Chain A
Amino acid sequence: MRSWDNLQGGEKATRMDIAGVLPLDMAGTIIVLWLALGVLGLTLRGKPHLIANAIFPAGAVASLALAAIGLWALGAAADVAILPLGLPDLPLHLRLDPLSAFFLVLLGGASFGVSLFGAGYFRSMPGKTLGLLCLEYHLFLAGMALVLLADDAYMFMVAWETMALSSYFLVTTDHRIPDIRKAGYLYLLVAHVGAIAILLGFGVMQGGQGIGAYTFDAMRDAHLSAFWSSVVFLLALFGFGAKAGLLPLHVWLPEAHPAAPSPVSALMSGIMLKTAIYGILRFTFDLLDMQQWWWGVLALALGLLTAVFGVIFAAVQGDMKRLLAYSSIENIGLLLVGIGLTIIFHVYGKDALAALSLTAMLYHSLNHAFFKSLLFTGTGAILHATGERNMGRLGGLIRKMPWAASLMLIGVLAIAGLPPFNGFVSEWLLLQAFLLSPGLPNSYINMLIPVVAAVIALSAALAAYVMVKFYGIVFLGQPREPALEQAHDAGIWERAGMGWLALGCVVLGLAPVFVIRQLDPVTQMLIGHGLGNSAGGWLFLTPVDTERASYSPVYFLLAVLGVMLATALAVRRFYHGRLRRGPAWDCGFPEQTARMQDTAEGFGQPIRRIFEPFFRIEREAPSAFDTHPHYHGRSDDRIWLFLYLPIKRITETLSSWVSVLQHGRIHLYLSYTFATLIVLLAFM
Chain B
Amino acid sequence: MENTNLALGMLFQLFQSLLVVLLAPLLMGWVSQCRAWLQNRSGPGLLQPYRMLRKLFLKDAVIAFNASPLFRVTPYILFGCMWLAAAIIPIIAVDLPFSPAADVIALVGVFALARVFIALAAMDIGTAFGSLGARREMLVSFLAEPALLMVLFTASLISHSTQLPSIVGALAHREFVLYPSLAFAALAFVIVLLAENARIPVDNPNTHLELTMIHEAMILEYSARHLALIEWAVSLKLFAYISLGIALFIPHGIADVGKWDALPLSIAALLAKLVMAGAGLALLETLLAKVRIFRAPEFLGTAFLLAVLGLLIHILLGA
Q: Could you tell me which A residues sit within 8 Å of B by CB distance?
A: 395-396, 398-399, 409, 413, 416-419, 424, 427-428, 431-432, 434-435, 438, 443, 446-447, 449-451, 453-454, 457-458, 460-462, 464-465, 467-469, 471-473, 476-478, 536, 540, 546-552, 555-556, 559-564, 567-568, 571, 574-576, 578-587, 589, 592, 594, 596-598, 602-603, 605-607, 609-610
Q: How far is the CB of B29 from chain A (nearest CB, A)?
A: 21
Q: How far is the CB of B115 from chain A (nearest CB, A)?
A: 8
B131's partner among A432, A582, A603 (CB-CB below 8 A) is: A603
B132 contacts the other chain (Cβ, under 8 Å)? yes
Which positions 170-186 of chain B face chain A at CB distance < 8 Å?
none
Q: How far is the CA of A579 from the CA of B128 in the complex (A)?
A: 24
- A450–B162 touching, CB < 8 Å: no
| Chain A residue at minimum C-beta to C-beta distance from B139 | A606
A575's partner among B58, B142, B221 (CB-CB below 8 A) is: B58
B34 contacts the other chain (Cβ, under 8 Å)? no
Task: Return chain A residues, CB-CB under 8 Å to B250.
Answer: none
- B106–A435 touching, CB < 8 Å: no
Which positions 121-146 of chain B face chain A at CB distance < 8 Å?
123-132, 134-136, 138-139, 141-143, 145-146
Given contacts A462-B142, A598-B135, contact A457 B150 (CB under 8 A): yes
- B134–A472 touching, CB < 8 Å: yes
B109's partner among A419, A449, A586, A597 (CB-CB below 8 A) is: A419
Most chain B CB inside 10 Å of its own CB: which residue of A396, A419, A431, A609? A419
B1 contacts the other chain (Cβ, under 8 Å)? no
Q: How far is the CA of A571 from the CA of B142 in the complex (A)?
A: 33
Which positions 276-318 of chain B face chain A at CB distance < 8 Å?
294, 297, 304, 307-308, 311-312, 315-316
- B80–A549 touching, CB < 8 Å: no
Of B43-51, B60-68, B238-246, B266-274, the one touching chain A: B60-68
Task: Return chain B residues, CB-CB under 8 Å to A473.
Answer: 123
Given contacts A477-B125, A597-B127, contact A540 B109 (CB under 8 A): no
Q: How far is the CA of A586 from the CA of B141 in the complex (A)?
A: 24
- A550–B100 touching, CB < 8 Å: yes
Task: Return chain A residues, CB-CB under 8 Å to B105.
Answer: 427-428, 431-432, 551
Task: Return chain B residues, CB-CB under 8 Å to A584.
Answer: 64-66, 125-127, 221
A selection of 17 A-B contacts at a CB cut-off of 8 Å is A446-B315, A457-B145, A461-B112, A467-B116, A469-B138, A549-B163, A555-B98, A560-B80, A560-B81, A579-B62, A583-B65, A586-B220, A592-B128, A598-B135, A602-B131, A603-B135, A606-B135
Q: How far is the CA of A609 from the CA of B210 in the complex (A)?
A: 22
- B123–A472 touching, CB < 8 Å: yes
Question: Using a Cβ–Cβ cut-off of 8 Å, how many residues does chain B contribute to the interface with A?
Answer: 81
- B156–A468 touching, CB < 8 Å: no
B126's partner among A416, A460, A476, A575 (CB-CB below 8 A) is: A476
Given contacts A450-B153, A559-B98, A567-B76, contact A461 B141 (CB under 8 A): yes
- B60–A567 touching, CB < 8 Å: no
B7 contacts the other chain (Cβ, under 8 Å)? no
Mark B78-98 against chain A: 1 for CB-CB distance below 8 A, else 0.
Answer: 011101100100000000001
Given contact pairs A398-B70, A461-B146, A580-B61, enumerate 14 new A-B contacts (beta carbons under 8 Å). Answer: A419-B109, A447-B316, A461-B143, A464-B138, A468-B119, A468-B134, A551-B102, A579-B63, A585-B64, A585-B127, A587-B129, A594-B126, A596-B128, A597-B131
| Chain A residue at minimum C-beta to C-beta distance from B68 | A398
- A592–B150 touching, CB < 8 Å: no
Q: How far is the CA of A413 from the CA of B65 in the complex (A)?
A: 26
Most chain A CB inside 10 Å of its own CB: which residue of B65, B139, B143? B139
Task: Return chain B residues, CB-CB under 8 Å to A587.
Answer: 129, 210, 220
Q: How far is the CA of A563 from the CA of B84 in the complex (A)?
A: 8
- A461–B113 touching, CB < 8 Å: no
Q: How far is the CA of A431 from the CA of B148 in the complex (A)?
A: 14
Given contacts A435-B162, A550-B100, A556-B106, contact A464 B141 (CB under 8 A): yes
Q: How far is the CA of A435 from the CA of B159 in the complex (A)?
A: 11
B145's partner among A450, A461, A596 (CB-CB below 8 A) is: A461
Q: How far is the CB of B53 from chain A (nearest CB, A)?
A: 11
Q: How far is the CA of A610 from the CA of B153 in the complex (A)?
A: 26
Q: How far is the CB of A441 from chain B (nearest CB, A)?
A: 14
- A438–B315 touching, CB < 8 Å: yes
- B162–A419 touching, CB < 8 Å: no
| Chain A residue at minimum C-beta to C-beta distance from B169 | A547
- B119–A575 touching, CB < 8 Å: no
Q: How far is the CB of B77 from chain A (nearest CB, A)?
A: 6
Q: How far is the CA of A584 from the CA of B58 in the complex (A)?
A: 21
Task: Return chain B residues, CB-CB under 8 Å to A561.
Answer: 80
Q: How far is the CB of A148 from chain B (nearest CB, A)?
A: 32
Q: How far is the CA of A449 from the CA of B156 in the complex (A)?
A: 15
Q: How far is the CB of A78 from chain B (nearest CB, A)?
A: 36
Given contacts A457-B150, A559-B84, A564-B77, contact A580 B62 (CB under 8 A): yes
Task: Return chain B residues, CB-CB under 8 Å to A413.
Answer: 113, 116
- A575–B225 touching, CB < 8 Å: yes
Given contacts A461-B141, A563-B80, A575-B58, contact A550 B132 (CB under 8 A): no
Given contacts A560-B80, A564-B76, A585-B64, contact A464 B142 (CB under 8 A): yes
- B58–A418 touching, CB < 8 Å: no
Q: How far is the CB of A479 from chain B (nearest CB, A)?
A: 8
Q: How far is the CB of A468 from chain B (nearest CB, A)?
A: 5
Most chain A CB inside 10 Å of its own CB: which residue of B63, B109, B132? B109
Q: How far is the CA of A446 from the CA of B311 in the complex (A)?
A: 11
B110 contacts the other chain (Cβ, under 8 Å)? yes
Q: How far is the CA of A310 from the CA of B5 in the complex (A)?
A: 50
Q: How far is the CA of A564 from the CA of B98 in the complex (A)?
A: 17
Task: Return chain B residues, CB-CB under 8 Å to A443.
Answer: 316
Q: Which 6 A-B pairs have the closest CB atoms?
A: A477-B126, A478-B126, A457-B146, A472-B123, A555-B101, A598-B131
Task: Return chain A residues, CB-CB under 8 Å to B304.
Answer: 454, 458
- A597–B128 touching, CB < 8 Å: yes
Q: How far is the CB of B212 from chain A (nearest CB, A)?
A: 13
Q: How far is the CA of A547 from the CA of B164 in the complex (A)?
A: 10
B149 contacts the other chain (Cβ, under 8 Å)? yes
Q: How far is the CA of A277 from the CA of B19 in the complex (A)?
A: 50
- B65–A582 touching, CB < 8 Å: yes
Q: How far is the CA of A482 from the CA of B274 in the complex (A)?
A: 53
- A419–B116 touching, CB < 8 Å: no
Q: How far is the CB of A611 from chain B (nearest CB, A)?
A: 10
Q: How far is the CA of A454 from the CA of B153 in the complex (A)?
A: 10
- B297–A435 touching, CB < 8 Å: no
Task: Return chain B residues, CB-CB under 8 Å to A606.
Answer: 135-136, 139, 294, 297
- A451–B308 touching, CB < 8 Å: yes
| Chain B residue at minimum C-beta to C-beta distance from A413 | B116
Task: Return chain A residues, CB-CB under 8 Å to B101.
Answer: 540, 550-552, 555-556, 559
Q: How far is the CB of A521 from chain B (nearest CB, A)?
A: 27
- A551–B103 touching, CB < 8 Å: yes
Task: Return chain A residues, CB-CB under 8 Å to B163.
Answer: 546-550
- A419–B141 touching, CB < 8 Å: no
- B113–A419 touching, CB < 8 Å: yes
B166 contacts the other chain (Cβ, under 8 Å)? yes
Task: Return chain B residues, CB-CB under 8 Å to A467.
Answer: 116
Q: How far is the CA of A450 from the CA of B63 in the complex (A)?
A: 46
B103's partner among A438, A462, A549 (CB-CB below 8 A) is: A549
Q: How far is the CB of A107 from chain B (nearest CB, A)?
A: 29
Task: Return chain A residues, CB-CB under 8 Å to B220.
Answer: 585-587
- A476–B141 touching, CB < 8 Å: no
B31 contacts the other chain (Cβ, under 8 Å)? no
Q: How far is the CA of A561 from the CA of B156 in the complex (A)?
A: 29
Q: How far is the CA of A434 from the CA of B132 in the complex (A)?
A: 36
Task: Return chain A residues, CB-CB under 8 Å to B83.
Answer: 559, 563
B57 contacts the other chain (Cβ, under 8 Å)? yes
A450's partner among B129, B161, B308 (CB-CB below 8 A) is: B308
- B57–A571 touching, CB < 8 Å: yes
Task: Return chain B residues, CB-CB under 8 Å to A580.
Answer: 60-63
Given contacts A435-B157, A476-B68, A536-B100, contact A548 B162 (CB under 8 A): yes
Q: How far is the CA of A673 from the CA of B139 in the complex (A)?
A: 66
- A465–B76 touching, CB < 8 Å: no
